[in-house]
Amino acid sequence: MGKKRTIWKKKLFDDASIRSMIFIYFTITALAASVLISLSLYQRMSRQVTEVVQEESQNLIAQVGRSVESYLRTIMKLSDSLYYGTIKNADLSSQSLGSEFTLLYDNNKDNVENIALFSEDGALLEAVPAVRLKNEVDVTQEEWFRSALNRTENQHFSLPHVQYVFDNAENQYRWVISLSRAVELTHGTSTSQGVLLVDIRYSSLEQLFGGITTGRGGYFYMISGNGEILYHPQMQLLDSGWVQENNGQAAGYSDGNHEEIFAGKKRMATVKTIGYTGWKVVGVTPENAVSLNTIKTRLFIVFVIALILCILALINSYISSRITNPIRELEKSVGVLEAGNLSAPVYIGGSYEIRHLGKSISDMAGQIRLLMQDIVREHEAKRKQEFDTLQSQINPHFLYNTLDIIVWMIENEQKTEAVKVVTALARFFRISLSRGKSLITVKDELEHVRNYLMIQQMRFKNKFTYTIESDDEVLELASLKLMLQPLVENAIYHGMEYMDGDGEIFVRAWQEEKELYLEVRDNGLGMTEEQVESLFTDTAHVASKRGSGIGVRNVNERIKLYFGAEYGLSIESEPDEGTAVKIHLPAVPYEKVLEEKKV
């Protein structure tokens, strides 16, 4: 399975284009870099957010602490005013403190529930606005009373509790925090100890924390020095046991930020100690408010990463296009060259390396083009040389037989016929040589084949007749030398040599639009389709050794070599019906061909 996966991956990368490879590699590299940068930024931002939240929590809890301290100082100042301004200067044996207490109470009644003065044995000496104690209540057993007498030099704050020692008109129980202190009472010439009680409204303390939070899900609570909860936004639920708080552990915290795990959740506790009382204000901040681990933050980070990836993909696509488009254009140019069009322009653009490669390919194509032209010229020269050599090697049998005919005619005193044969032979050789030229006029080509037919007719003792026809407008057109003779030669040696009766050879030249046609038709033995095909495919010359040695295939190839692949021979033949060979050439004036071919 692993081997197949490896092969599949190898095939995938082998078949991928360079643009895809560049895009993939750039994207993977950019993605890895983006992930690393994002993680680094995320951690750094998390630390910064944590530091900011911690700093804000410290500032906020410091503000709350200052508010609580200011509030407590106000109450303590009231206590000092009651003691030093009123109680210490008054003789209780002859003076009442009611009016002074009432005045101070009225100035602080928003924060104070009761003000009371007790003797050392618990008797109520003065109370504002309450008028009397409840009958069953012994204040000497109250914690605030004992604390004041045990430590006379301090002011003491109790825990929040319901004040039940006074019998007020409304008969309601109110939550208070009691401030108590030992005071010196004057009765004439004697002094004694007493206890001053100031009940602070718990609701006024709650107002100091109202609406203040440390972020989403955060809150403040206040504890005493030993961890007793003085204030909590869910105080009733705490009392009923439905909610718990980490106040015991928080009591041991020093001022500052502390990470804690409570109820299985991680959170941050910021602590501020209230001066004089030893109380501590604790701000609780959940983890999701300190870090970036909220769902919205994660979605935002995912969105930012996706946006970065989209931008990187566009940048990578642009870069890969700038790199690969010149290569693709160069590839198209190479494809055109591969198709055989070596003259097509080669794209040269892009970076220096690609421009250099394009110039090298262009130069290489030019060199190949020159080499191919040299090869073609060499091939044409070779073919022409082969043909010139072949046509210069006239089969001696034809010459010997012609000379025998001339000798025989002279011996039989047929001087006139001998002169005709000699004249025809001389014209035959003159046109065959043609000063080395390969192209002659149609007129000379017809004259050449006429002399050849005249000689052959005398050799075969009038065994065949021939007719040569041509239109006047074709006589000055260009023709390839020695086209008709091999065709007539085949008609004589292969079509009529073994037939019964007289043979007929018909030679014709005509023009159709811009095309030149020459035809050799005979009434000889004819050929099958296989024999016709062999004339164009057989590498050996099909002419008899008594002929010129130039075969049909050679004539067809020479025509295509000189005039193009669309020209050449076509043969129609039926056994016992004869054969017609048609030559197809362009109708071009001989003088124009001489200028173009330089022959």
pLDDT at position 130 is 67
Residue 12 located in a structural domain: no
Please state, in angstroms and rounded to a whole number, the distance separating the CA atoms of residues 395 and 454.
17
pLDDT beyond 80 at 436:
no
Residue 490 located in a structural domain: yes
Residue 557 and residue 438 share a domain: yes
Strand, coil or helix: what is 28?
helix
Torsion of CA 229, 232, 235, 237, to 10 degrees: -110
For 552, the token pair is 């049909």
Residue 457 and residue 339 share a domain: no
Nearest to 400 by CA among 542, 545, 550: 545
- Residue ending a domain, among 205, 237, 267, is 205
- Taking only the tens place, the pLDDT of each residue in 50-68 is 777 778 888 888 888 888 8
- Specify the range with the lowest mean pLDDT, choosing from 6-15, 236-245, 507-516: 6-15
Tell me what the mean pLDDT of segment 100-109 comes to. 88
Long-range CB pairs of 287-296 (<8 Å, 24+ gap) are: 288/216, 288/217, 289/53, 289/214, 289/215, 289/216, 289/217, 289/218, 290/49, 290/50, 290/53, 290/54, 291/46, 291/49, 291/50, 292/42, 292/45, 292/46, 292/49
- Residue ending a domain, among 205, 223, 244, is 205
pLDDT band at 172 (very low <50, low <70, confident <90, very high): low
pLDDT band at 498 (very low <50, low <70, confident <90, very high): low
pLDDT beyond 70 at 500:
no
Residue 586 and residue 494 share a domain: yes
- Specify the range with the lowest mean pLDDT, choosing from 76-85, 369-378, 400-409: 400-409
For tokens 């046609």, the residue is 517
521 compared with 390, residue with greater pLDDT: 521
Q: Tell me the C-alpha to C-alpha distance, in Å, between residue 583 and each of 148, 428, 507.
A: 143, 21, 11
Nearest to 543 by CA among 423, 414, 452: 452
- Specify the range with the lowest mean pLDDT, choosing from 286-295, 423-432, 474-483: 286-295
pLDDT beyond 50 at 492:
yes
Q: What are phi and psi of 128, to 5 degrees?
A: -135, 130
Domain coverage including residue 494? 394-597
Residue 386 located in a structural domain: no
Residue 472 and residue 343 share a domain: no
Tell me what the mean pLDDT of segment 404-429 comes to. 78
Number of Cβ within a 10 Å radius of residue 424: 20
- Specify the range with the lowest mean pLDDT, choosing from 40-44, 100-104, 306-310, 524-528: 40-44
Sheet bearing 219-223, strands edge to edge = 229-231, 219-223, 280-286, 265-273, 256-262
Number of Cβ within a 10 Å radius of residue 251: 17
Radius of gyration of the chain, Cα coordinates, nearest whole angstrom: 65
Residue 151 and residue 119 share a domain: yes
Tell me what the mean pLDDT of segment 425-429 comes to. 76
Start-end of H helices in 393-494: 396-411, 415-433, 442-459, 484-490
CATH number at residue 435: 3.30.565.10
Residue 220 located in a structural domain: no
Strands 219-223 and 190-201: unpaired
Residue 364 and residue 442 share a domain: no
Number of Cβ within a 10 Å radius of residue 203: 14
CATH number at residue 101: 3.30.450.20
Residue 576 and residue 459 share a domain: yes
pLDDT band at 540 (very low <50, low <70, confident <90, very high): very low
- Specify the range with the lowest mean pLDDT, choosing from 102-111, 325-334, 440-449: 325-334
pLDDT beyond 90 at 407:
no
Residue 450 located in a structural domain: yes
Residue 518 and residue 472 share a domain: yes
Per-position DSSP letters for 514-544, written without gaps between them = TEEEEEEEE-S----HHHHHHHHH-SS--S-
Is 133:118 a contact under the CB 8 Å cutoff? no
pLDDT beyond 50 at 547:
no
Strands 229-231 and 219-223: antiparallel
pLDDT beyond 80 at 491:
yes
pLDDT beyond 50 at 560:
yes
Residue 488 and residue 357 share a domain: no
Domain count, the chain: 3
Residue 162 and residue 138 share a domain: yes
Residue 403 and residue 485 share a domain: yes
Residue 466 and residue 369 share a domain: no
Is 487:555 a contact under the CB 8 Å cutoff? yes
pLDDT at position 71 is 87
Residue 418 located in a structural domain: yes
pLDDT at position 50 is 73
Nearest to 277 by CA among 220, 223, 202: 223
pLDDT at position 508 is 94
Percentage of the chain surpassing pLDDT 70? 85
Per-position DSSP letters for 345-381, written without gaps between them = PPP--SSHHHHHHHHHHHHHHHHHHHHHHHHHHHHHH
Half-sphere exposure of 251 (CA within 13 A, CB side): 11
584 compared with 541, residue with greater pLDDT: 584
Start-end of H helices in 266-294: 287-290
pLDDT beyond 90 at 517:
yes
pLDDT beyond 50 at 402:
yes
Mean pLDDT (the chain, rounded): 80
pLDDT at position 497 is 66
pLDDT at position 338 is 75
Nearest to 118 by CA among 199, 185, 195: 195
Please state, in angstroms and rounded to a whole number, the distance separating the CA atoms of residues 76 and 87.
15
pLDDT beyond 50 at 12:
no
Residue 94 located in a structural domain: yes
Tell me what the mean pLDDT of segment 157-184 comes to. 82
- Residue ending a domain, among 142, 172, 205, is 205
222: which residues sit within 8 A by CB, 6+ positions away?
Answer: 68, 209, 229, 230, 231, 232, 274, 279, 280, 281, 282
For 171, the token pair is 């008969």
pLDDT at position 529 is 85
- Taking only the tens place, the pLDDT of each residue in 239-290 is 888 888 888 888 888 888 888 888 888 888 889 898 878 888 998 888 776 5
pLDDT band at 469 (very low <50, low <70, confident <90, very high): very high
Residue 511 located in a structural domain: yes
Tell me what the mean pLDDT of segment 389-409 comes to. 66
